[in-house]
Amino acid sequence: MVALRRLGWGLTGECRYNVGVQKFYDKPQVHEAPPGVRVAARLRIGSVEIAPATVLAPMAGITDTVFRRFIREMDGCGLLMTEFTSADGVVRKKDKKAQRFLHFYPDEHPISSQLFGSNPESLAEAAKMVEQRGFDMLDLNLGCPAKKVVKCNGGSGLLRELPVIQKIFEAVRWAVKIPFTVKFRAGWNEKELVFRELAKMAEGCGLDAVAMHARTREQGYSGQAQWQWIAEMKSLVSIPVIGNGDVRSPEDARAMVAATGCDGVMIGRAAASNPWIFRQIAQYTSAGSYEVASRADRYRMIRRYFVMLIEEGYPDSTGKMKQFASWFTHGVEGGAKLRKVIYEAKCPEGIVTAVDEFFSRSAEAADGLVGG
């Protein structure tokens, strides 16, 4: 079996609400699983079939249309999700940021739009608009731990307001016909765990699936994800359960399924640092082994994403390239030098040229070593 080097670092993304959160994995555990366990080849959520049963987690500042299509080109991801989007912003219609978040292309299907907010009426109205735009599914964010979002009673801020959550579930479920799901943290802290009540409430209100990041809001991205909570939730409901937290490799994905019995696996931080992870999981599921990216693969990957940003006319493509360079270049020999020239570049085209020159010089050096 081909082994993938485990990365002891990761990211949560740059929040568009100016609440940046970057957290490296805390002493990542090595997970073991019985050989016969695999991530499911397919998963049905309401009327939508997801094949394979893997999901790109919604990440602020990361899962825009460019990155989603980039992941789709990499192959192997069953469901894409948008960045979390303010329901109030969607309803206002003139909110350009919200409208940009809801933009997607035909090749992104199946795709789910994730909304956040605390007002049942606004969320229901926004949900209708999402359905009219042609999204396959709708998701409610009850997991974002960012202080500015929580302060407005959004994201995980609602975890202390179960009656409000029930009203939101009921209002949104009544408003749309497309599959409706929810993603949440296990609770505010370990003394206030609410995932059991939330999962049963979601099923009772007619939601089609639940996803849980197996950490608390207080925990943020520190410590270890508590997979046993996902297993317990799976035992409480009959609707599909999607597990999230500390899946950094195909081995981790298989171990999560073995430990929890979850129906699908959601991946966030690892997808930004290793965009091949979904394809690797699919390979691992079908063959029991998977391919590790070569240096040439990394070059093509970095260049392709940067070119896609330029082609999309992405606002501040230069900044976006510099943001992703810190993740994409880890594992590349001499990556620090490449990051330096990327950070010093003044325009997107200059960055692409720097990438071309870096890998060209590396290839020439390698040829020289072989020839010598």
Q: Please give the chain's pLDDT, 372 residues, in tens.
A: 233 333 332 333 333 333 333 444 555 666 676 778 899 999 999 999 999 999 999 998 899 999 999 999 999 999 999 999 999 999 987 777 888 889 999 999 999 999 999 999 999 999 999 999 999 999 999 977 667 776 666 677 788 899 999 999 999 999 999 999 999 999 888 899 999 999 999 999 999 999 999 999 888 788 889 999 999 999 999 999 999 999 999 999 999 999 999 999 999 989 988 999 999 999 998 888 899 988 889 999 999 999 999 999 888 899 999 989 888 887 788 889 999 989 999 899 999 999 999 998 865 544 433 333
Q: Which amino acid is at 43?
A: L
Tokens 């079996």 locate to 1
Q: How far is CA 330 from the centre of its chain?
A: 19
Residues annotated as catalytic are 144
Report the distance separating Cα 288 and Cα 102, nearest Å.
37
Gap between the Cα atoms of 76 and 59, Å rounded: 19
CB 21 within 8 A of CB 12: yes
pLDDT at 372: 37
Contact 299, 359 (CB under 8 A): yes
Length of the chain: 372
* CA torsion angle 338 341 343 348 (round to 10): -100
